Structure 1
Amino acid sequence: MTNMDNKKKPRKESNPDSKLELANKIAKQSKKVANTYAHFEDSLFRIIRSFSSWIDNVLFNQRFSLIVSLGLAILLYMTVNFNSQNSLFGSPLLSAKTLTDIPIVARYNTDTFEITGLPTSADITITGEGSNVNAAANQKGTLVANLEGLTEGQHTVKLTPEGYSDNVTIKVDPSDVTVTLKKKSTGQFDIGYDFINQDKMNSIYSLGTPEFEYSKVNVRTSKDTLDSIAFIKALIDVTNVESDFEQEATLVAYDKKGIPVNADIVPNTVKVKVPVTSPNKTVPIRVETSGEVPNGMAIETITMDHESVTIYASESVLSKINEVGVTLDASTLTKDSTVLRPITLPTGVKSSSISQISMDVKLGPGVSRILENVPVFYKNNVGKYKFSILNNQSTVNVELFGTQANVDAINPEDVVVYFDMKNAVPGNQEFKLSVEQPVGSLVRYSVTQPTIQVTVSGEVDNTVDESVGIN
């Protein structure tokens, strides 16, 4: 039995007809699926063609074009103005805009208190519907710090926006400010003055001393501020004034550095009268030459189109001026020329009747001439020393250079040769000799002997003159 069980059972042989039948079934099923897919695909294409044709009829039909345009406009409006989570009748989108430097004003008892620590401006952010935000941003609102009813000391208050629509929300940054209220005191000050806009006044006019209706004013502010005030000035506007005038001048308080101080000045203006004059003086014009004419030539004559000029300045300045100068660089002259040069106005002179002159310059051959035995002078013997000249040399020779006519016109007594004793000390010393060059002279002077030997005794004689001739 065991041996029989261990023997392999014979395989059942497959039927060829069964395999053929199975293959036919599979082929029929595949053909059926293919037909179904083809039918579905054909139906889908028919639907798409029908929808496309309908869309073409709607979009390109003149009867429906207005309706389509309206629909697209509504869709665009909804896209721009509404959230995706809202329907057509939902809430509009919110907008925000930040504005900077909004002015801050304080409300408090200005008669009793002075305020410090208040910033001049703050920033705000406006939130709301877009159109409302834009409208509010164009309004001229302010931020108010309300301190009414508060007493002296430090206080923190909220900044409240005013002047804006109620349809928006406004956030202030910073929302709070800390300020200090100080009680005011009263002090009395003298009135000074400043002329303003002098650049808008004709320079030929001079302003006299103002005459005020009153000379003192009261200033009301905190004690600390009152102590910082150095002076009160009336600001007198002199725009285009040409004669005596009166005006109400504004009063301003200043500290020691000249910085304006915020304080209540009672009254804050003063009536003032100001005299206006036009002091002037007519003085000659002198030509001051420098350098040397090239090629051995010299200036023969200078003829000016104006010999004098009227200058305008204060009386004190005019009293010190006897002439005005015009400079001419001789080294630029190579032939007879007409030269236009500006007039050099002395310090303190505001204006002049002319600002420049025309000069006709004639040249001639230069010649030299020696002036003999020109006396020597000393100057600035501030120590009043007694002294003597070695070898009793009290005169020197001076060389002149110019045209023949000009050098011949010079006399020895017209020439001044000197040495300066400002730094003299007792003992033997050598001093430099100098010769004065007259203003406007067309002749050049030079000393043939550059120095002089002097013995200073060291004795002081109060009768000795500081500047005198030694011959």
Structure 2
Amino acid sequence: MKLVAYDGSGQEIPGAEVDPAVLEVEVPITNPFKQVPIQLKLIGQLPSGLSVENLTPSAEQATIYGPQTELDKIDFIEADLNLSEVTKSGKVDITLNKSDAITEVSPAAITVDVQVVLTQTRTIQGLPITIKGLGNGLKMQIMNPASGQADITFKGAPAVLDKLQPGDVSVEADLSGRGPGTYTIPLNVNSPRFVDQSGGNTSIEVEIANIGTESTPTPGVPTTDEAASGGVIEPDGGEPTGTEAEGTGGTVGSPTSSPSPTPTPSSSLSSSPSPTDGA
């Protein structure tokens, strides 16, 4: 950089000599950066008979560099962990996924301590079934299972299954778009990470009818109110509001008789080893 002399009014002084006449200046330039959490993306499956007990990454956050407009769009950064390549407990090195818009990631890779054990199973009985999407002006009755509740068998690591509680699991059936008639509805079972369904109820049989339509009770099958007492009814356009099995324009109508208290899931839990089950 050439140096020039100026007077008090900011005008260059002709013929003025400056010593030294040239300076070398180093100006550091730093890209915008942002710290974001690292999310492990699990791909593939463990070999049959093994389940994940715990995953511990060497870092939980990463610093990403790039244009500020791109940084503002990113809330986390992923790292792929391929479970199909894991055959025993140990440490696995994986690279963080960097998009083209990001110029740098620090750290660029992390180490994950993977703990795997033999798979076991556990059954939780009497789980309530949440009914979603029951149309306005319709009522429903769970025909099978007769209890109106679900018995689900889960698989996973023994230490993980030991901590599993009924409140950690949700069981849902979606009746959206269905009018009067009898249907077999698949169940959607949501469970914690590293816990999967391996058996038990996978669907329910329901009968849908117009409100006000009389139906002949089937011996051994709960009535509309009795069936509803085993779960939660969520009609179209409304939030879950209790145990009524009717959809009435986005709100649930009052039952004709007092509903039975919502049953508590059975405390009778079974656990058995299953070396052949997959994770």
For residues 194-230 of structure 1, the C-alpha deviation after alignment (integer angstroms, 9 at most, x for no partner) is xxxxxxxxxxxxxxxxxxxxxxxxxxxxxxxxxxxxx
Q: Contact 1:317/1:348 (CA < 8 Å) preserved in 2?
A: no
SS at match of 1:358: strand
1 CA distance for matches of 2:187 and 2:100?
Answer: 31
Q: Contact 2:92/2:111 (CA < 8 Å) preserved in 1?
A: yes
Quickly say closer, same or farther: Cα 1:290–1:456, change in 2 above 3 A: farther
1:431 aligns with 2:188: no
Q: Which residue of 2 aligns with 1:422?
A: 176
Q: Which residue of 2 aligns with 1:450?
A: 202
SS at match of 1:405: helix
SS at match of 2:201: coil
Q: Which residue of 2 aligns with 1:361?
A: 114
| 1:338 aligned to which of 91, 111, 135 | 91
Aligned residue identity for 1:452: I
| 1:307 aligned to which of 35, 44, 60 | 60
2 CA distance for matches of 1:404 and 1:433?
Answer: 25
1 CA distance for matches of 2:134 and 2:81?
Answer: 36
1 CA distance for matches of 2:104 and 2:173?
Answer: 38
Quickly say closer, same or farther: Cα 1:289–1:437, change in 2 above 3 A: farther
SS at match of 1:442: coil
2 CA distance for matches of 1:336 and 1:367?
Answer: 17
Quickly say closer, same or farther: Cα 1:348–1:395, change in 2 above 3 A: farther
SS at match of 2:154: strand
Aligned length: 189
Report the alpha carbon displacement of residue 396 of structure 1 after superposing the two structures with TM. Answer: 1.0
Q: Which residue of 1 aligns with 2:149?
A: 395
Identity %: 22
TM-score (norm 2): 0.54
SS at match of 1:390: strand
Quickly say closer, same or farther: Cα 1:279–1:362, change in 2 above 3 A: closer
Quickly say closer, same or farther: Cα 1:464–1:371, change in 2 above 3 A: same
TM-score (norm 1): 0.34
2 CA distance for matches of 1:443 and 1:403?
Answer: 8
Q: Which residue of 1 aligns with 2:47?
A: 293
2 CA distance for matches of 1:367 and 1:297?
Answer: 9
2 CA distance for matches of 1:390 and 1:467?
Answer: 24
Quickly say closer, same or farther: Cα 1:432–1:307, change in 2 above 3 A: same
Structure ranking higher on relative contact order (CA contacts 8 Å, 6+ apart): 2
For residues 287-337 of structure 1, the C-alpha deviation after alignment (integer angstroms, 9 at most, x for no partner) is 53542333x22222222111233456657635xx4x554443333322223
2 CA distance for matches of 1:310 and 1:424?
Answer: 49
Aligned residue identity for 2:156: G
Q: Contact 1:427/1:458 (CA < 8 Å) preserved in 2?
A: no
SS at match of 2:73: helix
1:282 aligns with 2:36: yes
Considering only aligned residues, what root-mean-square deviation do their CA atoms show, in Å? 3.8
Instruction: After TM superposition, list the pairs within 5 Å mapping 1:200-211 onto structure 2.
Output: none
Instruction: After TM superposition, list the pairs within 5 Å mapping 1:127-138 onto structure 2.
Output: none
1:317 aligns with 2:73: yes
Instruction: After TM superposition, list the pairs within 5 Å mapping 1:159-198 onto structure 2.
Output: none
**Structure 2 unaligned regions, length at least 5:** 1-28, 212-233, 244-261, 263-279
1 CA distance for matches of 2:64 and 2:147?
Answer: 46
Instruction: After TM superposition, list the pairs within 5 Å mapping 1:451-466 onto structure 2.
Output: 451-458=203-210, 465=237
Quickly say closer, same or farther: Cα 1:343–1:418, change in 2 above 3 A: farther
Report the alpha carbon displacement of residue 398 of structure 1 after superposing the two structures with TM. Answer: 1.9
Larger Rg: 1
Report the alpha carbon displacement of residue 449 of structure 1 after superposing the two structures with TM. Answer: 1.0
**Structure 1 unaligned regions, length at least 5:** 1-241, 244-276
2 CA distance for matches of 1:357 and 1:343?
Answer: 7
Aligned residue identity for 1:334: T
| 2:127 aligned to which of 374, 378, 381 | 374
2 CA distance for matches of 1:422 and 1:351?
Answer: 46
Quickly say closer, same or farther: Cα 1:390–1:287, change in 2 above 3 A: same
Quickly say closer, same or farther: Cα 1:426–1:283, change in 2 above 3 A: farther
